[in-house]
């Protein structure tokens, strides 16, 4: 059972604002991930403080076009890519007025400054340079990178930015964004460890996230195959869903470890935290992350994480050598880091204790406080 943390503070705002978030997916989308969780926590937190919050996002099968959830109004129009031009046309037509528009730039920008009429903040989780070839292929990747590295910095040249990690802030500066316009606002967590949770007696690795190529779950499967000789009872849980799952299942079968790998699909919040609490280590072989929310969620349960040093914000959410391990890119280094944690109980306990201490500084209430200060300050400055 997960014990919820105390409810966040709800200070009286100097002014209640009309806020419009533009995002290609929302938390209820079947392919939602950590970025959408961040959006949901921020939007609902601001709505609870009296602000009028709307999220304009893409439609999806089964999604209600217009609804209000926990004080947040959702408007779902357009598809995977159609959401971008439709949102801009709606803004140009003046159909969705707001004091501040927050564009969630998940690679492709919404270009809200072109519509005028409102202050715009550009929320960026991470720069997608390494992901474009994986997502679009080598030929089309150039278009995505041109939009992200050339068009977006020019269009948002007078806008404030929010980055979710110092690593993302540095990448944006590298694209020409003025450092003084970038505010870092981290992810948080509102879960506390369950004192009755029990670590698995046999070694368990968990990888959690959307099952898409750039998450590189194959590396966790290959590590499991390599480590089975030293840890015969080792089991890997792959938690999440996505179109890449059949390929991953084929890969596990090809390596002869299908009996050692369980694909859980989507699970409830309670089940997710039960698995994280049981695990000996969280494997995070992703190419790039803005922060890696699940790292903090695992840390609540004293579960250390392993990821790559060059994977963006993971080097911020993982305190290397204290709450988990960061390694150089490559299968051999990734497997070695997992082996180090699995093989040494004292090291595993040390990193687990460090993870529990490290994540205490990240709370959603602090995240919402920071957003509210920025939003009110943006309107006041105008």
Token duo for residue 259: 């009996």
- Using the CB atoms, write b or e for 132-166: b if 16+ within 10 Å: bbbebeeeebeebbebbbeebbebbeebbbbbbbe
C-alpha 195 chain-centroid distance: 27
The answer for 224, left when phi > 0, alpha when psi is -120 to 50, beta otherwise, is alpha
Residue position matching structure tokens 């030293």 = 230
When pLDDT is averaged across residues 2-17 and rounded to a whole number, the result is 52
What local confidence, expressed as pLDDT, does residue 14 receive? 54
3-188+363-381 and 191-361 share one fold: yes
What local confidence, expressed as pLDDT, does residue 214 receive? 93
* 49 pLDDT more than 80: yes
Are 70 and 36 in contact, with CB atoms under 8 Å apart?
no
Residue 197 vs residue 11, higher pLDDT: 197
Out of 1.10.30.50, 3.40.50.300, 3.40.50.2000, 3.40.50.720, which CATH number does the structure's domain 3-188+363-381 have? Answer: 3.40.50.2000
Structure confidence by residue, pLDDT tens digits, 182-215:
999 999 988 777 777 889 999 999 999 999 999 9
Compute the distance between CA of residue 223 and CA of residue 207 in angstroms, rounded to an integer.
12
When pLDDT is averaged across residues 259-267 and rounded to a whole number, the result is 96
In DSSP notation, 104-139 reads: E-BSB---GGGT-SSEEEEEES---TTTHHHHH-HH
When pLDDT is averaged across residues 276-305 and rounded to a whole number, the result is 95
Q: What is the mean pLDDT of the chain?
A: 92
Q: What values do phi and psi take at 295, rounded to 5? A: -60, -45
What local confidence, expressed as pLDDT, does residue 130 receive? 85
Neighbours of 269 (CB within 10 A): 10
When pLDDT is averaged across residues 355-382 and rounded to a whole number, the result is 92
Which band of pLDDT confidence, cut at 50, 70 and 90, is reported for residue 382?
low
Residue 316 vs residue 3, higher pLDDT: 316
Which band of pLDDT confidence, cut at 50, 70 and 90, is reported for residue 174?
very high
Percent of the chain with pLDDT over 70: 96
* 2 pLDDT more than 70: no
* 56 pLDDT more than 90: yes
Q: What is the CATH number of domain 191-361?
A: 3.40.50.2000
Structure confidence by residue, pLDDT tens digits, 78-97:
988 899 999 998 888 777 78
When pLDDT is averaged across residues 341-353 and rounded to a whole number, the result is 97
The residue ranges of every structural domain in the chain are 3-188+363-381, 191-361
* 15 pLDDT more than 80: no
**245: Cα within 13 Å, side-chain hemisphere:** 18
When pLDDT is averaged across residues 330-337 and rounded to a whole number, the result is 98
Q: What is the DSSP letter of 259?
A: G
Structure confidence by residue, pLDDT tens digits, 24-34:
999 988 888 88
Ordered alpha helix ranges (H), 255-329:
269-278, 293-300, 314-317
**Three-class secondary structure of residue 162 per DSSP:** strand
């Amino acid at each position: 059972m997960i014990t919820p943390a105390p409810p966040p503070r709800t200070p009286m705002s100097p002014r209640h604002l009309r806020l419009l978030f533009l995002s290609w997916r929302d938390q209820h989308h079947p392919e939602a991930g950590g970025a959408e969780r961040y959006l949901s926590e921020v939007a609902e937190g601001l709505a609870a403080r009296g602000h009028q919050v709307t999220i304009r996002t893409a439609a999806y099968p089964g999604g209600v076009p217009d609804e209000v959830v926990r004080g947040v109004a959702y408007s779902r129009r357009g598809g995977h890519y159609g959401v971008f031009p439709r949102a801009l046309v709606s803004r140009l037509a003046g159909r969705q007025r707001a004091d501040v528009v927050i564009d969630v730039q998940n690679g492709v920008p919404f270009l809200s400054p072109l519509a005028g009429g409102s202050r715009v903040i550009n929320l960026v989780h991470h720069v997608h340079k390494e992901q474009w070839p994986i997502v679009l292929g080598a030929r089309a990747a150039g278009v995505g990178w041109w939009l992200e590295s050339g068009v977006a910095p020019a269009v948002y040249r007078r806008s404030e930015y929010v980055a979710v990690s110092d690593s993302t802030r540095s990448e944006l500066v590298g694209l020409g964004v003025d450092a003084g316009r970038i505010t870092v606002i981290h992810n948080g967590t509102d879960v506390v460890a369950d004192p009755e949770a029990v670590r698995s007696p046999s070694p368990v690795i968990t990888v959690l996230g959307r099952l898409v190529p750039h998450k590189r779950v194959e590396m966790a499967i290959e590590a499991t195959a390599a480590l089975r000789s030293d840890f015969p009872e080792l089991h890997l849980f792959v938690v999440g869903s996505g179109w890449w799952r059949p390929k991953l299942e084929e890969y596990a079968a090809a390596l002869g470890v299908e009996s050692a790998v369980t694909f859980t699909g989507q699970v409830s919040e309670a089940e997710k935290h039960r698995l994280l609490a049981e695990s000996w280590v969280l494997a995070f072989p992703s190419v790039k992350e803005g922060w890696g929310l699940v790292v903090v969620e695992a840390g609540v349960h004293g579960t250390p994480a392993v990821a790559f040093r060059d994977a963006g914000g993971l080097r911020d959410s993982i305190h290397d050598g204290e709450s988990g391990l960061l390694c150089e890119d490559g299968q051999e280094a990734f497997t070695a880091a997992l082996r180090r944690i699995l093989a040494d109980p004292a090291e595993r306990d040390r990193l687990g204790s460090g993870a529990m201490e490290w994540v205490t500084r990240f709370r959603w209430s602090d995240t919402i406080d920071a957003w509210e200060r920025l939003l009110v300050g943006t309107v006041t400055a105008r």
